[in-house]
Amino acid sequence: MRRALEEGDALANKAIQQEQTGKKLLQQLENSQPGEPEYQEALQAFVKAGREHIAYEQDVVWPKFEAAVSHEELEKLGQQLRQAKKIAPTRPHPDTPPKSIVLKTIGMLTATIDHVRDALTGRAAKNPPDPQTR
């Protein structure tokens, strides 16, 4: 995105900021219980933020990116995304800086901890892997 579009940096930065907001809200949900006012507030904010982020990526980012990149490049990126999802963290980590090098290093350790934690708590069985990553 950043290399493919003249405005790629601005588009990517806005999307990353939206994702960080979503991670913080997910963390608030994880730290509270249904029925608590904090949970309800975080849930409503997450739904609103999620809808805004999806609309931004679908209506603004994707059309520009799709027009600027070849079909072959899109296929290659799709395959890379499917592979990355297999080893990505499974829980929100809003305090992890959204920088590429940080995500590649700390993200791997965090993902390993998440996967072990999911296996020990039974979360992995309750939330099977995304069928798109198989």
Q: What is the pTM of this model?
A: 0.69
pLDDT per residue of the chain (134 residues) written in tens, 0 to 9:
899 999 999 999 999 999 999 999 999 998 999 999 999 999 999 999 999 999 999 999 999 999 999 999 999 999 998 887 777 777 777 777 776 676 666 666 777 777 777 777 887 776 655 555 55
Specify the long-range contacts of residues 59-67, CB closer than 8 Å, at least 24 apart: 60/11, 61/1, 61/11, 61/15, 64/5, 64/7, 64/11, 65/1, 65/4, 65/5
Q: Which two tokens stand for residue 72?
A: 């072959």
Burial environment of residue 55 by CB neighbours within 10 A (0 to 12, 13 to 18, 19 or more): exposed
